[in-house]
């Protein structure tokens, strides 16, 4: 099958969407609600224990029809098949993209270059299970015979953000092991972390797909040297394990082959928490919960693969991003979880979404002349309300926002949960309806404020409303529902990259900085400063104390 390289803006459906946008851009969502008593029902999907209410978006049924027409015109169905079947859709690295294989059922058959990868996946899953159980129940001990109390995940990017986000998200389900994360090459990070740890009872998990990442190898080396001040070289085998595709480099580092958890080049770093990269998740909450998360993701995979597009959650939500990004000119999207457990969720998705779709060259290798990847940001509600919601409500930018909340709280504190969720619902209502001049004046008058006193304030207190939100309301935050939610965003990334005609699964944009840093490190550590622009040379001189 030939590679689909159509510029989406040249399609018939794009032209129709452009015309439709012109006719709808001034429409008020609150009027659409008045006109259609069933609007909420019409635009709510239910999947995997979540309600997805996208009715508070600037859309009509025609918008969805046209967006689906665009997806069909570009051949979305075939693209989904290729994605799930292990085609090398990561063309620039010539790799399959199969994070879905990591959570596929045991009897599934998924071929990469003629080899069914599912048995290998289950073999590694078995190893993760076995190892986690032994560490948790104390059968696997440190070099002085003590059971482990702490685990340090050493990794960065996809080898850190996913596990760190999930360990925090599933804190409610955690066991006695305290899991720490060291990522930054800044020595303060690693030194602050080890300062609190006992080498006799700490297990180190070095996670690096390539095992060449400067940050990870530096942190792992610092930690190993610190460890060797206490234990011996032979004790390293009891305290260090690695997750990587690069078995040679792992062995050079001194890690025994039985302590290596393999992964595969068909798993992208930012999609890898389902692989052995998730070992620290399994250690923190136990393999059963890790497995529960995979099950939730598998449920979303099957929904995405088999559900007609008009009821397909990743398809609909992915297309909504295209609608705002390319027709309304929205540059960013906020993701606001109303649960403290998901406090790292937006940071995690920043890598997932921005590293995937922050591309300016299309699948034919030509610069694009339309907008692609959105800027992702967010913090948990209600903290975000007291920080940046001012801009979302009254600023000049249109920021489509996902609100994620749960019906049941984990701690069962109804008082707190009711207050939290009252804010959750209130915000989307406020963003929808805003507050008119009439309403502002009526409020002043109700309070008996004289006209000459309030007149100058009216404009400041008005809210335009008509600001789009999508409400994702789940039953309860569990390993399974978390897995389902993460997989939803993964598939949204696919949808968007597909429509924008870009390759979502490479990340060449991170290379240049890495390359220059290695040259600059030589400038810093030697007497010479090589050729750079004048600003960089000046700054290096200041840093090195050269006048």
Ligand X SMILES: O=P(O)(O)OC[C@H]1O[C@](O)(CO)[C@@H](O)[C@@H]1O
Q: Which residues are catalytic, by number? A: 355, 386, 514
Maximal C-alpha separation, the chain: 82
269 binds ligand X (CB under 6 A): yes
Of residues 59 and 156, the one with the C-beta less far from ligand X: 156
Distance CA 194, CA 216 (A): 15
177 DSSP assignment: P
Instruction: Kindly state the smallest distance separating residue 428's Cβ from ligand X, in Å.
Output: 33
How many Å apart are CA 491 and CA 494, to the nearest integer?
A: 5
Site for ligand X contains 199 (CB under 6 A): no
- The residue count for binding ligand X (CB under 6 A) is 14
Q: Does 270 bind ligand X (CB under 6 A)?
A: yes
Residue 174, SS3 per DSSP: coil
Instruction: Note whether 326 binds ligand X by CB under 6 A.
Output: no
Find the binder of ligand X among 326, 374, 507, 523 (CB under 6 A): 507
Of the residues 156, 242, 336, 495, which one makes contact with ligand X according to CB under 6 A? 156
- Contact stretch for ligand X (CB under 6 A) within 12-20, 89-97, 151-159, 423-431: 151-159
Residue recorded with tokens 């070099």: 143
User: b/e string for 498-518 if b means 16 or more Cβ within 10 A?
Assistant: bbbbbbbbbbeeeeeeeeeee
Query: Rounded to whole angstroms, what are the CA distances from 371 to 8, 24, 30, 64, 324?
Result: 11, 20, 28, 20, 11
Q: Which of 353, 304, 309, 345 is closest to 500 using CA atoms?
A: 353
CB of 377 to ligand X, least distance (A): 19
219 contacts ligand X (rule: CB under 6 A): no
Read off φ and ψ for residue 401, nearest 5 degrees: -130, 135
Q: How far is the CB of 212 from ligand X (least distance, A)?
A: 7
- Helices then strands (H, E): number in the chain? 24, 13
Going by the DSSP 8-state scheme, the letter that residue 326 receives in this structure is I
Site for ligand X in 330-369 (CB under 6 A): 355
Distance CA 226, CA 204 (A): 12
Please give the DSSP secondary-structure letter assigned to residue 95. B
Q: Which residue from 55, 216, 339, 469 is in contact with ligand X, where contact means CB under 6 A? A: 216
Binding segment for ligand X among 157-165, 250-258, 361-369, 481-489 (CB under 6 A)?
A: 157-165
Q: Which stretch binds ligand X (CB under 6 A): 68-76, 156-164, 414-422, 460-468?
A: 156-164
CB nearer to ligand X: pick between 210 and 436 = 210
Q: Which stretch binds ligand X (CB under 6 A): 74-82, 85-93, 204-212, 490-498?
A: 204-212
CB of 497 to ligand X, least distance (A): 15
Judged by CB under 6 A, does residue 49 bind ligand X? no
Q: Does 213 bind ligand X (CB under 6 A)?
A: yes
Phi (first) and psi of residue 334, to 5 degrees: -100, 145
Residues that bind ligand X (CB under 6 A): 156-159, 208-210, 213, 216, 269-270, 355, 507, 510
């Amino acid at each position: 099958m030939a590679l689909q390289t159509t510029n989406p803006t040249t399609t018939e459906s794009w032209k129709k969407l452009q015309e439709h946008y012109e006719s709808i851009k001034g429409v008020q969502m609150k009027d659409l609600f008045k006109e259609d008593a069933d609007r909420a029902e019409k635009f709510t999907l239910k999947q995997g224990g979540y309600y997805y209410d996208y009715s508070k978006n600037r859309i009509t049924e025609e918008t969805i029809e046209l967006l689906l027409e665009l997806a069909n015109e570009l051949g979305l169905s075939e693209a989904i098949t290729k994605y799930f079947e292990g085609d090398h859709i990561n063309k620039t690295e010539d790799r399959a993209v199969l994070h879905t294989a990591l959570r596929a059922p045991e009897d599934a058959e998924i071929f990469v270059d003629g080899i069914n990868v599912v048995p290998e996946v289950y073999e590694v899953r078995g190893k993760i299970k076995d190892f986690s159980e032994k560490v948790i129940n104390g059968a696997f001990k440190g070099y002085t015979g003590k059971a482990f109390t702490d685990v340090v995940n050493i990794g960065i990017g996809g080898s850190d953000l996913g596990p760190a986000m999930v360990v925090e998200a599933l804190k409610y389900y955690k066991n006695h092991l305290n899991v720490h994360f060291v990522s930054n090459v800044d020595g303060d990070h690693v030194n602050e972390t080890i300062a609190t740890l006992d080498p006799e009872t700490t297990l180190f998990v070095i996670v690096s797909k390539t095992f060449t990442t400067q940050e990870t190898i530096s942190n792992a080396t610092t930690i190993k040297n610190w460890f060797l001040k206490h234990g011996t070289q032979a004790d390293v085998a009891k305290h260090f394990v690695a997750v990587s595709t690069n078995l040679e480099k792992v062995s050079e580092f001194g890690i025994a082959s039985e302590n290596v958890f393999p992964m595969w080049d068909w798993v992208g770093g930012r999609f890898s928490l389902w692989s052995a990269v998730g070992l620290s998740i399994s250690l923190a909450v136990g393999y059963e919960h890790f497995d529960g998360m995979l099950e939730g993701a598998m449920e979303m995979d099957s929904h995405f693969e088999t559900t007609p597009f008009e009821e397909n959650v990743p398809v609909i939500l992915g297309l909504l991003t295209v609608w705002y990004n390319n027709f309304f000119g929205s540059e960013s999207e906020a993701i606001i979880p109303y649960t403290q457990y998901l406090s790292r969720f937006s940071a995690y998705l920043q890598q997932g979404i921005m590293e995937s779709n922050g591309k300016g060259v299309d699948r034919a290798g030509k610069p694009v002349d339309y907008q692609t990847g959105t800027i992702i940001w967010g913090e948990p509600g209600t903290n975000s309300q007291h920080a940046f919601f001012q801009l979302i409500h009254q600023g000049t930018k249109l920021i489509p926002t996902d609100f994620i909340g749960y019906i049941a709280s984990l701690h069962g504190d109804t008082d707190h949960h009711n207050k939290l969720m009252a804010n959750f619902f209130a915000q989307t209502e406020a963003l929808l309806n805003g507050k008119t001049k009439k309403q502002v004046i009526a409020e002043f008058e109700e309070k008996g404020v004289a006209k000459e006193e309030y007149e100058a304030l009216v404009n400041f207190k008005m809210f335009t409303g008509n600001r789009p939100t999508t409400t994702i309301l789940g039953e309860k935050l569990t390993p399974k529902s978390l897995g389902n939610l993460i997989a939803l965003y993964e598939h949204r990334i696919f949808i968007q990259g597909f429509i924008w005609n870009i390759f979502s699964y490479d990340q060449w944009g991170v290379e240049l900085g890495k390359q220059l840093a290695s040259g600059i490190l030589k400038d810093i550590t030697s007497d010479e400063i090589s050729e750079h622009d004048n600003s960089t040379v000046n700054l290096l001189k200041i840093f090195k104390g050269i006048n």
